[in-house]
Amino acid sequence: MSQGQGFGFGLGKMKELAEAFKKAQEVQAGAKRLQEELEVMQIEGQSQNGLVKVVLSGNQEPISVAISPDALGEGADVLSDLVTAAMKDAYAKSTATMRERMEELTDGLNLPGM
C-alpha cells in the first residue's frame, strides 16, 4: 500500500461520507416529525354521492364512519358499496399525502425506490 492512501478514502471521500451521514440524520429527524404529524392528521374520504364519509388518520388508522340516514334506505348491498367507496377514497388521499410528505422529506436525495 502506498503512503497516504489509507483505506482508499481520500479527503474528498471523507467529506462526502460525512455529508451523507448528516443528510441521513436530517431525514431521520424529519421522519420522526412526519410520523408525529401523521398520527394526529385526519383525512376524510367519501362516497361519490357524499352519503357515507370515512375518516382515517394519516397512518391510515380508521377514526370514524358517518352514514347519512338517506343511505340507510338504499339497502345493505348499496350501503356496503358506499362504505367501500368512502374507504377507498380516504385510503387514496392518505396514500397520496404520505407520498407527498415523504418526497418533501427526501427532496434532493437520490434514494432508490423513492
Domain extent at residue 21: 11-105
pLDDT of residue 33: 87
Query: What total number of domains does the chain contain?
Result: 1
pLDDT per position as a tens digit, 14-57 = 777 887 788 878 878 888 888 888 888 999 999 999 999 999 99
pTM assigned to the model: 0.69
Q: Is residue 42 part of a domain?
A: yes
Does position 72 have pLDDT exceeding 60, yes or no?
yes
pLDDT, position 1: 46
**According to the model, what pLDDT value does residue 79 have?**
95
44 Cβ contact list (under 8 Å, min separation 6): 53, 54, 55, 90, 93
Q: What is the pLDDT of residue 111?
A: 53
Asked whether 52 and 46 are in contact (CB, 8 A), the reply is yes
Q: Are 34 and 101 in contact (CB under 8 A)?
A: yes
Say if 75 falls within a structural domain: yes
Report the CATH number at residue 43: 3.30.1310.10
